[in-house]
Amino acid sequence: MMAQSELALQLLIPLLAGGWALHARRLYQRLHRVRRDPLTGLLTRDGWSRAANRIIRRHRGATVLLADLNGFKAVNDRHGHDAGDAVLVAAGERLAAWCGKNDVAGRLGGDEFVAVLADDARLPGRLADLAELLRQPVHHNGHELRVGASIGAARLAELDTPTLAAALKAADSAMYRIKGRTRGGRRLLVPALAAVRRLPVSLAHRFRLAA
C-alpha cells in the first residue's frame, strides 16, 4: 500500500506544476506590459533595444532611425494633454504601419520614436513617405491637429562601429544636423546626406518636414 507521504507528493506535484505555470504566465504578461508603451502600444526603450539587437545580428543591411515630432509642445499647450496623447497615438500607429514585417518600431519617450529596418532598400524614398505620414492631421474633439517630423537614419554597414549604440548616436546627429532649417518662413522636406564621420563612407539620411 502506498505510503501517505508518497500519495501526498503525487497529489502535490501537479498542483505545484500548475502553480508555477500560472506564475510564469503572469510574469511573462507583466514583462510584456513593461516592454510596451501603455499609450501607443509600441515597444519601450528596453523592449525595442532587445528586438533591434536581434535584427542587427541577423541583417547586415539594417538601418536605425529616430523621429522627433515638431510642433508637439504647441499642440499640448494649446489643446491640452489629451490632444497631445492623440497625436502620439496616431504617430505610433502610422510608424508601426509604415514598418515592414521584419522592422520594429518603438517609443523612446515624449515625442521621440525609433525604428530599426531590416532592409535599407529605397531608404530615402521610404523616409520621405514616413515624413509625409507623420505630418498628416490628427482629428481630435473637432480640432485638426498638425505636427511635423524630424527624421534621422543611419545604416549600420556604413558605421565604423556597427552597433546599436553607434547607430542611435549617428541617427541622432543626423536628425539635429539641419533641424530647424526653414525657407520663406515655412519648414520644408529637405532630403540630405549628413556625414556621421566622413564622406562618403559613413552617411546618415536626414529629413525635415513640418506643417
Residue 29 shares a structural domain with residue 69: no
> Which domain range does residue 82 map to?
45-209
pLDDT digit string (tens) for the chain, length 211 residues = 445 556 555 655 665 556 555 544 554 444 444 589 999 999 999 999 999 999 999 998 899 999 999 999 999 999 999 999 999 999 999 999 999 899 999 999 999 999 999 987 788 889 889 999 999 999 999 999 999 998 999 999 999 999 999 999 999 988 887 565 533 333 433 333 333 333 232 334 444 443 3
Q: Which of 37, 68, 103, 111 is catalytic?
A: 111
Residue 77 is a catalytic residue: no
Give the single-character DSSP code of 43. Answer: B
Angle between helices 123-134 and 81-98 (to 10 degrees): 150
Retrieve residue 127's grid coordinates: 523616409
Q: Is residue 28 part of a domain?
A: yes
Q: Is residue 8 part of a domain?
A: yes
> Do residues 180 and 141 lie in contact, with contact meaning Cβ atoms separated by under 8 Å?
no
Question: What is the domain-level CATH number for residue 68?
Answer: 3.30.70.270
